[in-house]
Amino acid sequence: MLVVIAILGLIAGLAVPALKNLGKSDATVSAARQLLDDIGRARQLAMSQRTTVYMVFVPTNFWGNLTYNSAGASTAWFNSLSPNQTTAVTNLCDNQLTGYAFIGRGTVGDQPGRHNWRYLSSWQNLPAGTYIAPQKFDTPNQQLPIAIDSAISAMQNKPIYGFGTNSVPFPVETNSVLFLNMPCLVFNSFGHLLDQNGQILQRHEYIPLARGSIAPAVDATTKTYQLGSPSVLEIPPGNSTNISANIIDIDPLTGRAVLRYYKMGP
């Protein structure tokens, strides 16, 4: 009996780390599934409503974009927000690297030359413990200085570029004169993925996912979010760029997204 108990204890000790890693893997799979579904949703919204749909992501320190154009004048952006808009921006601090929303520009029935902006969803987050790799936000439209492990054959020799940015109403659609450059995926009414110039993107769009934690800046007294750089910790380090990477791959012509990850060869 003692021998059996000892063996069971040994098996349990070996299984616990595997179960912990399984939970982390499940979080990454859930994040990938959610992002794939919502990229598909953005594409379908664009086609069904015959409009251009922007899937807008929240980078870190997004409030650092200090200027906007209002009647041709350049003004401090954050200082021009109403109290309610300031609150909306501060609340989005919890969405850095994980949050996104859909914004539509124009729809059937709009007057010629007048295409109204509409938020088509509330802001939403990826599952806890996952986020989009920070490098994706670093340099808009530029090739990133990160290498995906060559073992991921589908990604070999295919560089990853930073998100393109577009001027969109932010933080809410009623903010009609305040537009901020935000990282976006843009779909037209045919389901094509567009570049900043409104043309079909000439390369695949890759979005690397990471496992880890993000802690937004918090006021020590009130415990509320405040404008400040979050603490970003990738666990284990390099999981967004090495053999364990999970990467969303969007075909620009069809607008369809698939998940790329390491597959054991024969």
Q: Distance between CA atoms of 202 and 199, rounded to whole angstroms?
A: 9
Strand 130-132, strand 246-250: pairing? unpaired
Domain contains 213: yes
Domain contains 113: yes
Instruction: CATH number of the domain at 242, please.
Output: 3.55.40.10
Q: What pLDDT does 240 receive?
A: 86
Q: What pLDDT does 70 receive?
A: 43
Domain contains 266: no
121 DSSP 8-state letter: S
Q: What pLDDT does 120 receive?
A: 93
The parts of the chain modelled with pLDDT lower than 50 are 15-24, 66-74, 150-151
Q: Coil, helix or strand for 66?
A: coil
pTM of the model: 0.82
Q: Coil, helix or strand for 258?
A: strand
> Rounded to the nearest 5°, which phi and psi values hold at 34?
-65, -45
Q: What pLDDT does 10 receive?
A: 65
Q: What pLDDT does 27 receive?
A: 84
Domain contains 173: yes
Q: What pLDDT does 15 receive?
A: 47
Q: What pLDDT does 19 receive?
A: 41
Domain contains 145: yes
Q: What pLDDT does 68 receive?
A: 43
For residue 213, with 0-12 CB atoms within 10 Å meaning exposed, 13-18 middle and 19 or more buried, which class applies? middle
Q: What pLDDT does 4 receive?
A: 58
Total residues found in the chain within this entry? 266
Q: Per the structure, how many domains does the chain have? A: 1
Domain that holds residue 172: 2-261
- Bridge partners of 4, per DSSP, are none
CA-nearest of 243, 250, 252 to 32 is 250
